Amino acid sequence: MKPKRDLFGRVVFLFHATFVAFWCGLFLIPESLFPNKVAFHFYLTMVVVLHQFFWGFLIMPWTGKYRMVCILTTLTQLLRGQKVSDPNNYDHHFTQEAFLKIGINISHKASALITFFILFLVTIRYFS
């Protein structure tokens, strides 16, 4: 059972990585190729950020504190054998882990700031 869980954990992590690359990569796609890109990116970003607030609220009974948490992070950590109440779930960001895989250690706060910076940029583009 453990090898399957590890495989599924890697698959979810790779899906997460692909999704984040797509989300950030939308900045690089010209509007001539994707005419509704700005609106799509804005609404996608709203879903990404708001689901983290909502999921963090839903898992508060297990974590004992409120943090923004991506449901994919929770799923990955569960597949790795961690409990929802484990700090590796709610004090862990995908961005931290992804940067660590390339040898860059960033803080939990820096990871959250990256998310809010993307939200800020996308919102400015949408409303301008």
Summarised one tens digit per residue, pLDDT across range 43-90 is: 999 999 999 999 999 999 999 988 889 999 999 989 988 899 988 777
Give pLDDT tens digits for 23-37.
Answer: 999 999 999 999 999
Give the chain's domain count: 1
pLDDT at residue 1 in the model? 60
What dihedral do alpha carbons 111, 114, 119, 122 form, nearest 10°? -150
| 96-127 per-position pLDDT tens digit | 888 888 999 998 889 889 999 999 999 999 99
Q: How far is CA 85 from the centre of its chain?
A: 18
Q: For position 90, what pLDDT does the model report?
A: 77
Q: Which domain holds residue 85?
A: 2-127
List Cα–Cα distances, 5 to 8, 70, 77, 96, 128, in angstroms: 5, 19, 10, 22, 45
